[in-house]
Each structure stands twice: as structure tokens, then as C-alpha cells.
Copies of this chain bind each other. A is one copy, B any other.
Amino acid sequence: MGNSFGKLFSVTTWGESHGPSIGVVIDGCPPLLPLNETDIQQDLNRRRPGQSSITSSRKESDLIHIVSGVYQGKTLGTPIAMFVKNEDPKPEDYSELLDLYRPSHADFTTQAKYGIRNPYGGGRSSARETIGRIAAGAIAKKILNHINNIEIRAYVESINIIKMPFLDHFPSVEEIDASSVRCPDPETAKAMVELIQKVQEEGDSLGGIILCRIRNVPIGLGEPVFDRLEADLAKAMLSIPATKGFEIGSGFAGTQMKGSEHNDVFYQKDSGIRTLTNFSAGIQGGITNGEEIYFRVAFKPTATILKTQNTVNTNGNPVQFQGQGRHDPCVLPRAVPIVEAMAALVLVNHWMIHQARSLKLTSDRV
């Protein structure tokens, strides 16, 4: 279980890393949305391996095929099924790993939970699973764009201890994608790439933080109590492989502020109500207030490294092994579109839930 996300715009992913294909089914997409494979491919290309020197060299074109739910270039309102083929699995890279549990991977827990696992490439726990999320997220983004020109932009804020300075504007995709590390500050990006390359040569790996910003969000999205918007964002982000933390607005640093400093004062602007500061990150009481939403996601250093490591085999006996194969020394550049996709899925679902209850009731009507 656990392979579906979203109550109304419901996304189900399927497929193992080294199976014939990987895919997704979306149930609940509104009809009449213009949609073709190019809309989706551009987001998938940002996740694809082999896109730069600092990503895995596994060769996958990750071409998306839409096999249902679209007719004459528009969505039908029926389930949208999509898949990509797995083209470059190299099972031989894993031959030494079949009988051992790689540290900080899902090998051991998967075997313990199910009594069986597909040992090639992490099977279902592979990051290739996120292909379906990105495909679904690309559609969600189109819907958000339609609703209110809602825009979601994630980028790499830090790699290890290298952190970019505050960015005073909402960056374009081009600014973000200008560097292979997807950090919109050119100098920081350069330092990040150098560090990644250095660590890559050592056969080691790095972690970091992705910042995600969302603007033009209508006021009123999010359900109080359990389904607060930030709660659903937190779940969405922690469902991404390799994530270890989520903070919104003032986050952990905000715990060191006083209430008088932290409260976001309301004022009127252009007949709308705004806040002077935005420590709330656009969400109060779980509901959007129209200000920019921003949150950070912590990614651990990739578990796959090429150094010799100690572990146990499936019998529990100690063994040493050295990682082979193609790996990412740092997952963050390729994780940027995943963060955006998951944020888009959360927002579309909340928009639909809010919409469902909008009777536009007024006291003189009923």
C-alpha cells in the first residue's frame, strides 16, 4: 500500500527500477485541459540521469507515453495512464549486491517487511519511481497555472556547507537551470559544482537543502486541523527518497524568536489584506493568506557511494563491498523537479477540496 497520493487528484505510481517500465495513473484530472507529451517531457528531462557531469551516467531517455485519458489534445476527465520504458538497466552492476544489505538503503527493511525483494537497483525504492510523480506534477502545474497563474519554483539553496545568499526575487526556471546544480546564484552554483566534483572523485556523496517558493496562491486553500496545507506539504516532501527534514516559513530558526518579533502584522494594500512580514510563509491556521509560500527540504547525502563499506550479507554475516555502477554524488539537482511536482499535487488537491464545498451560499438564498 501507500502508492497513491491525493484524495481528489489521485496519483498512483507503479514500477521497479529494473522492470520493463515505470508508470503512473492519475484519476481526477479535470476534462478539457490541453495536454500533450511535450508538456510532461520537459519536466522529466530535468530529472533524467546523464543530463550533466554531476549526475548519474545511466542512459535513459525517459520518453513519456500517454496511453489513456487524452483525446485530440485534451484531457477527457478519465484516468490518465502514462509510462516510460527502462532502457539502460545494468543488472550486472548489482550482481555483487544481491546477497547483502547496502547501508542506509531500503534493502534490509524491504526484505524484512515483505520476505522478498527485487534486488536490482533498489526495485521499487529506486528514485526512478519519482518519474511518475513528475509526470503527474506536470499536469498539476498546468491546472494551477490555469486556476490563478500559480507558480512553483524550487532550487538548491545549499550543498553541504555551501549556501547561497538570500534571493530577493522569484527566479525564473532559466535562472535556476543555468547551472547544472540548479542553484540560481551563479557564484554559489560554481562552488557547489566544484565541491560535488571533488567529492565524486573521492567516491563519496553530499547532501543539501532545497528551497521551494510558490506565488499567486488564492486565499483560503487548506483545511484546518489535520489537513493543514503545511501538514500535507510536509508529508509530500518527506515522501521523497533521501529527505530528512521539512520546515516552512521561519522554521527551526523561528524557534529562537519572540512572539512580538515573529507575528506577521496585517495591513491593507489595494483593498486587500496583506502582511508586513511573512514568517507564516503564506499559511495561517493551515489556510493560505495569499502571501508567498516557501519551505525548505533537507536531503541527506546519497547512500550509494563508491568507497569500500562494511555491512552484513543476507545471512547476517559481516562482509565488505565496494559500490560500482552509476550513481549521483548528490541527488539535489535532480530532486528539484520532484519537489515542485509534489508541491503541485498538494495544491491541486487542496484547491479541489476547497472547490468541492463552495456552495456560494448566502443568507438570502437558502
Contact = CB atoms under 8 A, between A and B. Distances in A.
- Counting chain B CB atoms within 10 Å of each CB, which of A142, A207, A266 scores highest? A266
A79 B258 contact: no
A71 B252 CA distance: 37
A337 interface: no
Contacts of A7: 7
A165 interface: no
A238 interface: yes
Nearest to A245: B247
A23 B259 contact: no
B263 A103 contact: yes
Contacts of A199: 258
A109 B232 CA distance: 17
Contacts of A236: 231
Describe A's contact surface by its main secondary structure: mixed
Nearest to A272: B316
B146 A361 contact: yes
A207 B255 contact: yes
Contacts of A298: 247, 251-252, 254-255
A30 B361 contact: yes
Interface string A84-117: 0000000000000000010111101110111111
A246 B262 contact: no
A109 B256 contact: no
Contacts of A104: 262-264, 279-280, 284
Given A16-B78, A235-B234, A258-B301, A108 B225 contact: no
A67 B103 contact: no
Contact of A207 (B230, B254, B280): B254
Contacts of A279: 104, 300
Nearest to A258: B204
A223 B284 CA distance: 30
Nearest to A117: B76
A290 to B, nearest CB: 8
A261 B220 CA distance: 44
Interface stretch (A40-48, A56-64, A170-178, A303-311): A303-311
Interface in A246-278: 246-252, 254-268, 271-273, 275
A155 interface: no
B257 A301 contact: yes
A212 to B, nearest CB: 14
Interface string A68-90: 11010011111111010000000
Contacts of A255: 158, 160, 207-209, 244, 298-301
27 contacts: A1-B357, A2-B225, A3-B224, A14-B68, A14-B80, A15-B81, A20-B67, A28-B356, A33-B361, A74-B363, A76-B116, A104-B263, A104-B280, A105-B284, A105-B285, A125-B286, A228-B238, A231-B238, A244-B248, A245-B248, A247-B247, A252-B298, A254-B298, A259-B304, A266-B311, A355-B356, A355-B357
Given A14-B27, A109-B285, A257-B301, 6 more contacts: A3-B78, A20-B67, A78-B118, A125-B285, A267-B312, A355-B356
